[in-house]
Amino acid sequence: MAVAGMVLDKWGAVWSGLASLVFLWPMLQNHIPTGLRQWLTILADKLTTLFSPYLQITISEYGDHRFRRSDFFLAVEAYLSHACARRARRLKADLGRDAKNLQVSVDDHQEVTDDFRDAMLWWYPSNKPTRASVISFYPADDERRLYRLVFHRRHRDLVLDEYLPHVLAEGRAVTVRNRQRRLFTNNASNNWNPYRSGNGIWSHVPFEHPANFDTLAMDPDKKAAITDDLMAFKESKDYYVSVGKAWKRGYLLYGPPGTGKSTMIAAMANFLDYDVYDLELTAVKNNTELRKLYIETTGKSIIVIEDIDCSVDLTSKRKKASGDKKASSEGEDDNKPKLPTEEKDDGTKVTLSGLLNFIDGLWSACGGERIIIFTTNHKEKLDPALIRRGRMDVHIEMSYCRFEAFKVLAKNYLGVEKHELFGEIRQLLEETDVSPADVAENLMPMSKKKKKDPDACLAGLIEALNKAKEEAAAKAKEEAEAAAKAKEEEAEAKQKEAAEAKAKEAADAKEEDEGKANG
Ligand SMILES: Nc1ncnc2c1ncn2[C@@H]1O[C@H](COP(=O)(O)OP(=O)(O)OP(=O)(O)O)[C@@H](O)[C@H]1O
C-alpha cells in the first residue's frame, strides 16, 4: 500500500506540474524566443503522447490525396452533426430537405463527446494550421479541416474494429437521409480558393425542379425504356466492378428547341435522387481546369453540358484535316463562343481530347455513380468520337409533339384524358411540327375562367396548330420557290459562263488565224 501511495504521489506531482505548465503557457509564450518556443511545443507534444493514456486519431478533409475530399471525413461530419447533436453546446438549425422540417445539428467548430459501448470518446474539429504547418513551407495544405478523435488506450480495439466502421456506416446513412439535392454551377477559375471548403470551384443552390417522368410529354414506350435504363444503372455497382468499367453512363439528348431536353434532365435527377452539376464549358480555361471540376463533383450526380455544339467547334477539326478549309465554317455561327479543338494542348484552352478524357479518361473513374449528359439541337455538328457508344451510351431523340405526348400534357395541364376535339388535334399534330413547349403554352390557362374550361384551351390549341400548319406551308412554299430560283440562276450563270468561254475560244482562234496570215 505504501509503495502504491508513493507511486501515486509521484504521478500526482508530474500531473500537477504539467497542469501548471499548461495554465502558465499562454503567458510564458510571449517571453520565449520563437525557435525555443517551437522546440518546447514539439517537446510538450511528444511528452503528452508518451505519458498520456489517451490515443488520438486524425481524420483530415483531404486524406492523403489532395484532390478530393475524403469520404470518411464527410461521413464523420454527417455522423457528428446527427448523432451527437443532443450533447453539443453549440448547435445550428436549418430547414430539412423538404424545406418544411427543422433540422438541428452540431455547429461546425464544436467539440463533442460520444459514448459507444460504455467507452467515452471525444471529437475535436479543427481548421487551424497544424503544428507541422508552423514550420512547413506549404501552409495551405495543412490549413484544411480535420477531426481529432481522442479515446482511452484501453478502447483501442473497440474504436478501430467497431466504432470507426459504425461512424462510417451511420454517417453515410445520415447523408443519404438528409440530402437536400443541389444544383451546382462552376465558378470562373479566378474565383477558386484553395482555403475554402470545396475550393470554391462549384457554387450551388437547392435543386427544386418539379419535373418528373409522369409530367414529361413523350412516347410512353420510350419513356419506360429510359426509366428502366436509369434504374438498371443505379443498381449496377457490382456489375460495373465485375466488368472492370467505371460506374458512369453517358446520355446524349438531342432535338429541336423546346422539346424537353432540360425538362428530361430534371426528371432524371428527380427519378434517381441525384445532384445536378451544370457545367458551363465556356467558363473553363483549359483541360486541367476541366479535370479539376470533374474531381470536385460527388457521386450520385448528373453532370450536364448543355448545347455542347455551341461551346465546342467539333466539326472543323475533321474537315480541316481533310483539307476542306471552306467546309469548316459552313453552317457555323461565328458569333457563338467556340473553343478550339486542335489536339495541341498548350494549356490555354479546352481541347476535344480534353473533353474525351473528361468523359472516359483515367480521372473520370474517380468516385463513380455519375451520369454525364450532353444536350444539343444539332447532333450532326458533333464529332462522332465524342458521341460514340461507350462515351454517350444512350442517344435520346427529343422530338416534336405527337399525339401520345400531347395526351400527357392534356392530362397534366387540363386534367383531361378524353375529349371530342382529340381526333382533330391528333390529325393536326401528325401534319405539323410543334414543340411540346408550344403545345404546353397553349394549354396553360392564363385566366381562372379558362382553367375551368378545357374546351376553350383545346379550341385555342387547334387554332394555334392550324396557324402553325399554314405558316409551315407558306415557309415550305417560300423555300421551294427560293430553291427553284437559285437553281434557275445557277443554270443561267452556267449558260452564260459557257457562252463566254465559247466566245473567248472563237476570239482566240481568230487571233491565231490572223497572226498566222500576217506572219
Ligand atoms: N417533353 C416535354 N414534356 C413536358 N413539358 C415540356 C416538354 N418539352 C417542353 N416542355 C415545356 O417547355 C418548356 C421548355 O422546355 P425545355 O427547356 O425542357 O426544352 P429544351 O429542349 O431544353 O429547349 P432548348 O433546346 O431551347 O434548351 C419547359 O419548361 C416545359 O414546361
212 lines ligand 1 (CB under 6 A): no
Q: Is residue 325 part of a domain?
A: no
Distance from residue 258's CA to the centre of ligand 1 (Å): 4
pLDDT confidence of residue 149? 93
Angle at 188 between CA 186 and CA 191, to 5 degrees: 110
Residue 302 bridge partners (DSSP): 276, 371
Residue with cell 475533321: 318
220 lines ligand 1 (CB under 6 A): no
Based on the fold, state whether residues 437 and 304 are members of the same structural domain. Answer: no
Q: Is residue 483 part of a domain?
A: yes
Q: Which DSSP string corresponds to 138-192?
A: -HHHHTS-EEEEEEEGGGHHHIIIIIHHHHHHHHHHHHHHH---EEEEEPPGGG-
**Residue 304: which H helix or E strand, with range?**
strand 301-305
pLDDT confidence of residue 406? 95
Based on the fold, state whether residues 72 and 103 are members of the same structural domain. Answer: yes
Residue 253 bridge partners (DSSP): 375, 396
436 lines ligand 1 (CB under 6 A): yes
Q: Is residue 273 part of a domain?
A: yes
pLDDT confidence of residue 270? 94
CA distance 482 to 162: 79
Based on the fold, state whether residues 155 and 107 are members of the same structural domain. Answer: yes
Residue whose CA is at the smallest distance from ligand 1 atom 7: 260
pLDDT confidence of residue 475? 92
217 lines ligand 1 (CB under 6 A): yes
Sheet order of strands, 182-186 included:
202-206, 182-186, 275-278, 301-305, 370-376, 248-254, 394-397
Three-class SS state of 212: coil
Torsion of CA 453, 456, 462, 463, to 10 degrees: -150
Based on the fold, state whether residues 162 and 69 are members of the same structural domain. Answer: yes
Q: Given the CA of residue 253, which atom of ligand 1 is nearest to it?
A: 21
Distance from residue 402's CA to the centre of ligand 1 (Å): 14
259 lines ligand 1 (CB under 6 A): yes
ipTM over 0.95: yes
Q: Given the CA of residue 265, which atom of ligand 1 is nearest to it?
A: 18
Based on the fold, state whether residues 259 and 366 are members of the same structural domain. Answer: yes
**First and final C-alpha spacing in the chain:** 145
Name the region of 348 (left: φ>0; alpha: ψ -120 to 50; beta: rest).
Answer: alpha
Please count the helices (runs of H) and the strands (runs of E) in the chain.
21, 13
Distance from residue 263's CA to the centre of ligand 1 (Å): 5
Q: Is residue 379 part of a domain?
A: yes
- Are the C-beta atoms of residues 309 and 381 closer than 8 Å to each other? yes
Q: Is residue 47 part of a domain?
A: yes
397 lines ligand 1 (CB under 6 A): no
CA distance 249 to 365: 11
261: Cα within 13 Å, side-chain hemisphere: 24
Based on the fold, state whether residues 455 and 375 are members of the same structural domain. Answer: no
Q: How many domains does the chain have?
A: 4
DSSP-assigned letter for residue 224: H
Q: Given the CA of residue 263, which atom of ligand 1 is nearest to it?
A: 18
CA distance 182 to 281: 19
CA distance 64 to 84: 27
Distance from residue 217's CA to the centre of ligand 1 (Å): 9
Q: Return all residues near 298 (Cβ < 8 A) that are at least 6 apart.
A: 275, 367
Residue whose CA is at the smallest distance from ligand 1 atom 11: 437
pLDDT confidence of residue 100? 59
Based on the fold, state whether residues 62 and 88 are members of the same structural domain. Answer: yes
337 lines ligand 1 (CB under 6 A): no
Based on the fold, state whether residues 172 and 188 are members of the same structural domain. Answer: no
Q: Given the CA of residue 437, which atom of ligand 1 is nearest to it?
A: 12
Mutational test site, ligand 1, from 219, 259, 263, 409, max ligand atoms within 8 Å of CB: 263
Based on the fold, state whether residues 366 and 436 are members of the same structural domain. Answer: no
Residue whose CA is at the smallest distance from ligand 1 atom 14: 258
263 lines ligand 1 (CB under 6 A): yes
Residue whose CA is at the smallest distance from ligand 1 atom 10: 437
Range(s) of the domain holding residue 242? 182-319+336-397
Based on the fold, state whether residues 486 and 459 are members of the same structural domain. Answer: yes
Based on the fold, state whether residues 105 and 40 are members of the same structural domain. Answer: no
pTM: 0.68
Q: Is residue 155 part of a domain?
A: yes
pLDDT confidence of residue 28? 72
pLDDT confidence of residue 67? 59
Based on the fold, state whether residues 393 and 418 are members of the same structural domain. Answer: no
Q: Is residue 80 part of a domain?
A: yes
Q: Is residue 3 part of a domain?
A: no
Residue whose CA is at the smallest distance from ligand 1 atom 31: 437
Each residue's pLDDT, cut to its tens digit, for the chain (519 residues) gives 444 444 445 666 666 676 677 667 767 777 778 788 788 878 877 777 677 888 989 888 876 655 567 888 888 988 887 777 777 777 777 766 555 566 677 776 778 889 899 999 999 887 654 443 333 333 344 456 788 899 999 999 999 999 999 999 999 888 777 777 889 999 988 778 765 656 688 988 989 899 999 999 999 999 999 999 999 999 999 998 898 888 999 999 999 999 999 999 999 999 999 999 999 988 888 888 888 898 888 888 999 999 988 876 554 444 444 444 433 334 444 444 444 444 566 667 788 888 888 888 777 777 788 999 999 999 988 888 888 888 899 999 999 999 999 999 999 999 899 999 999 999 999 999 999 999 999 888 665 555 568 888 899 999 999 999 999 999 999 999 999 999 999 999 999 999 999 999 999 888 888 888 876
